[in-house]
Amino acid sequence: MIAAWVAIAFFLVVLPLGAWWLGGRSFLDRPNAAAEAAALGRTVAQRHGLRPVQAALVQKAVTWGHRLEEPALRAAAVDLAEQVIDAHRRRRAARPALSGLLVVVLALWLSFVVARLVFAVAAGRWGDVNWSTAVLYAACGWWAWRLHSGPRRAVERNSDPVPR
pLDDT at 7 over 80: yes
User: Can you give the residue range of the structural domain that contains 146?
Assistant: 1-159
pLDDT score recorded for residue 4: 87
Q: Average pLDDT for residues 128-150, to the nearest whole number?
A: 86
Q: How far is CA 160 from CA 66, 78, 102, 131, in A?
A: 14, 10, 36, 44
Specify the number of domains making up the chain.
1
Q: Does 164 fall in a domain?
A: no
CA distance 48 to 53: 13
- The string of pLDDT tens digits covering residues 107-125 is 898 898 888 888 888 888 8
pLDDT score recorded for residue 30: 62
Half-sphere exposure of 30 (CA within 13 A, CB side): 9
pTM reported for the whole predicted model: 0.67
